[in-house]
Amino acid sequence: MTKDFFLDRWKIYFKERFPILMYLILVTVLFIGMNALSRQLAGLEIVVNQYTIAGIISGVLLMLLVRTFDDIKDEELDRGLFPNRPVSRGAVLISDVKMLALLSFVLLVAINIFMAPNALMVFGSLMIYLLLTFKWFFLKELHVQRPKIAMITHQPIPSAIIFYLIYMSLAGNEKSAFEWIHFYLLLSFALPITAWEVSRKTRSKDKEDDYQTFSKIFGTTAAGLIPIILYFISTSCMIIIGNSLRFHYLFSVLLGVNFIIAAWFYLRFIINPNEKNSQLQTVSLFFTSSYYALIFAFTLWNYHSQIQLDI
C-alpha cells in the first residue's frame, strides 16, 4: 500500500534500494584512501580540504543518481522480473524516484560549482556521459535489441566516476595533473566494481529467465572469467602502486592471497556452473570488501601522521 507522504515513500526507497549510511561509510573510506594515494603518487601532501568534502558528498550523490536512473529506465522490466521491489509493488511511486534523481542532480551541480570549481570540466564531462546512458545514447531500440551494446556503453560508468574522484583529489592543488601512475590507481579502484556488476548478473543455466545476464549473453565460462581477469588486473595495479610507495611487503602478499581465494570460487563455477556454485555476488562482495579494506588499512597505517586539515 502506497503511503500518502512522499518523505515516507523516500524512507522506504532508501531502506530497500539505497541504504544511505552504508553508502556514506563506503564512499568515505574509499575516497580517503584514494585521496591519500593519488596525492602521494603526485608528490603532494595529503590534505583534507573542501575538495575532499565535495568528493565524498559527490560520490554518494553519484551512486544515488545512477541507482535512480536505473530504476527509472527499468521500471517496466522490474515489474515483471522483480515484483518485490518498492516501485514494482507500489510502495514507492516512480515520480518519487524521479524527484530523487532531480534532487541528486541539482545538489551535484551546486556542490561542484561552489566547492570544487577546479574540477568542473571533468565533472561536466561525467554528467554528460551519465545523462547519455540514461537516454540510451538516444538509441534505446538498438540497446534493447542488442544487450551486448548496452553492456559495453554502460560498463564504463564506475571507471568514469572513479576518474572524476581521483581528479577531485588532485584538483585542490595547482599541480593537479592526472599522471600515468594514476591510471593504475583508476584500474585498481574501478575494476572490482565492474567485476561485482558482472558477478551479480551471472547465474547457472537453470536459473536464467528474461533478465539479461552476462552468463546468458556471453555464456557461463566467459561470465566467470571476466571477473577473474578484472580482479587480476586491479590486484596487479595495486601491488605496483604499493611497491612504488614502499608499502610493507605484507600488503602485496595479502592482496595476492585475496585474489587466489576469489579466483578459486570463480573457477569452480566455470568448471561446474550449477546453482550452488553460482553465488558469485557473495564471492565478489567478500573480495571487494577485503580488497578495499586492505588498501584503506595500509594507507592509513603509512600516512596517518601526515594527513593535514585545511578546511
Q: Specify the range with the lowest mean pLDDT, choosing from 128-132, 207-211, 222-226.
A: 207-211
Report the alpha-carbon distance of residue 93 to residue 99 in Å, rounded.
Answer: 10
**49 - beta bridge partners?**
310
Q: Which helix (H) or strand (E) holds 193?
A: helix 180-200
Which residues belong to CATH 1.20.120 in the chain? 179-311
CB 241 within 8 A of CB 188: yes
The CATH fold of domain 14-178? Tetracycline Repressor; domain 2 (1.10.357)
pLDDT of residue 3: 65
Helix axes 220-244, 249-271, angle to 10 degrees: 180
Q: Specify the range with the lowest mean pLDDT, choosing from 91-95, 108-112, 164-168, 177-181.
A: 177-181
CB 111 within 8 A of CB 58: yes
- Identify residue 81 by its one-letter amino acid code: L
CB 291 within 8 A of CB 235: yes
User: And the C-alpha cell for 256?
Assistant: 595476492
| Closest listed residue to residue 294, CA positions, set 16, 29, 111, 59 | 29
Report the alpha-carbon distance of residue 246 to residue 232 in Å, rounded.
Answer: 21
Residue 2 pLDDT grade (very low, low, confident, very high; cuts 50, 70, 90): low
Which residues belong to CATH 1.10.357.140 in the chain? 14-178
Q: Which residue has the cell 574501478?
A: 190
Report the alpha-carbon distance of residue 206 to residue 274 in Å, rounded.
Answer: 8
Tens digit of each residue's pLDDT (9 = 90 or more) over 120-165: 999 999 999 999 998 877 777 777 777 778 778 888 999 999 999 9
The DSSP secondary structure of 57-79, one letter per residue, reads HHHHHHHHHHHHHHHHHTHHHHH
* Chosen CATH of 179-311 out of 1.10.3210, 1.10.1660, 2.60.40, 1.20.120: 1.20.120
